[in-house]
Amino acid sequence: MTRPVLRAFRTLLSAAALLAAAALLPAGCESAEGADVSISATKRDLRTVGETTVLTGSGWGHYVWSLSDSSLGVLSSKTGESVVYTATKMPDAGGSHLNQVVTCQTTDPGGGGGAFGTITIRHLSEGGTATSAAASNSATERENPPSGGGSGEGGGSSTSRLTLSQSSVTVELSASTITAVPISVVSPVTGRTYRWSLSPSLGRLNTTTGNSVSYTPPSSTSYRGRTVTVTCTDSITHETASCVVSLQ
């Protein structure tokens, strides 16, 4: 066999080997990184002190639960696939409803440490009115509550106050474990664009637009004692709301 023919034969064998190896790989295999935690609730409207709802996370595992306002209610546990939320405070009769934003974040070692979801539980007073509650995650708003007429980015009430799921949080810095901080807009308006920024640039945000964001702090413990501010801006009303993150 001549050398040119031998080289061509070896090339064909190499290509065949690569094709055979590719055929052994699982079909449709995709990275799960960036997927979201979905949250379901037995009910989203609570009307009396002591009333409960069962919250269940899905899509990942190793869940950690937290509340935007601990004065409104309590969780049966901070970890687990399902937890029970109990209302401990209600608005005055006929008054405005109160929103409790419950966050579920995964610590799944499989790469989903930054995935999270939120759900809004409403505390309703007797005779009070409120728009429908919403559940959201780090990428997609599941259900946007109505907030007035109009359509497109300019639709909805321009006087609604921009509120975040948490205004301050403390993060323990560790060289081995990085805990992401989920922050979301409470009752986002359909069609609005919310822009996120970080100051100073210690750590990073997973996105700069959307109804929610995840802040990942720096891994170095040398930043203990510093604070960073995550700011959300409504592109229509130019309202801003911030969450101050203390690095400890």
Domain locations along the chain: 33-143, 153-248
Residue 155: band (very low, low, confident or very high) from pLDDT cuts 50, 70, 90: very low
206 has pLDDT over 90: yes
Upstream peptide bond of 200 is cis (omega within 30 degrees of 0): yes
Specify whether the backbone of 179 is left (phi greater than 0), alpha (psi in -120 to 50) or beta: beta
Q: Quick one: pLDDT at residue 35?
A: 52
Please name the residue that has the structure tokens 């802040």. 215
Q: Quick one: pLDDT at residue 34?
A: 38
Q: Quick one: pLDDT at residue 214?
A: 92
Higher pLDDT among residues 51 and 150, named by residue: 51
Q: Which of 79-93, 98-112, 128-142 has the lowest mean pLDDT?
A: 128-142
Task: Report CA-CA distances (Å) from 12 to 4, 21, 55, 103, 188.
Answer: 13, 14, 57, 55, 58
Given the DSSP bridges, would you call strands 73-75 and 181-184 parallel, antiparallel or unpaired? unpaired
Residue 75: band (very low, low, confident or very high) from pLDDT cuts 50, 70, 90: very high
Contact 148, 155 (CB under 8 A): yes
The first and second tokens of residue 174, run together, are 């560790």
Q: Quick one: pLDDT at residue 174?
A: 79
3-state SS string over 70-103? CCCEEECCCECCEEEEEECCCCCCCCCCEEEEEE
CATH topology of domain 153-248: Immunoglobulin-like (2.60.40)
Q: Which of 130-139, 155-164, 177-186, 234-243 has the lowest mean pLDDT?
A: 130-139
Residue 2: band (very low, low, confident or very high) from pLDDT cuts 50, 70, 90: low
115 has pLDDT over 60: yes
Q: Quick one: pLDDT at residue 225?
A: 87
Q: Average pLDDT over the chain, rounded to whole?
A: 74
Share of the chain above pLDDT 90, in %: 17
188 has pLDDT over 50: yes
Q: Is 186 exposed, middle or buried (0-12, 13-18, 19+ CB in 10 A)?
A: buried
The mean pLDDT value for 213-226 works out to 87
CATH topology of domain 33-143: Immunoglobulin-like (2.60.40)
21 has pLDDT over 50: no
Q: Quick check: helix, strand or coil at residue 238?
A: coil
* Percent of residues in the chain assigned helix, strand, coil, to nearest 5: 10, 35, 55
The mean pLDDT value for 75-99 works out to 86
Contact 100, 85 (CB under 8 A): yes
**Would the CATH topology of 33-143 be identical to that of 153-248?**
yes
191 has pLDDT over 70: yes
Q: Residues near 120 by Cβ (< 8 Å), separated by ≥ 6?
A: 44, 99, 100, 101, 102, 133, 134, 135, 186, 187
Residue 33: band (very low, low, confident or very high) from pLDDT cuts 50, 70, 90: very low
pLDDT tens digits for range 37-71: 888 999 999 988 889 999 998 888 888 999 988 88
220 has pLDDT over 80: yes
What CA–CA distance (Å, rounded) separates 207 from 114? 12
Q: Which of 27-36, 153-162, 164-173 has the lowest mean pLDDT?
A: 27-36
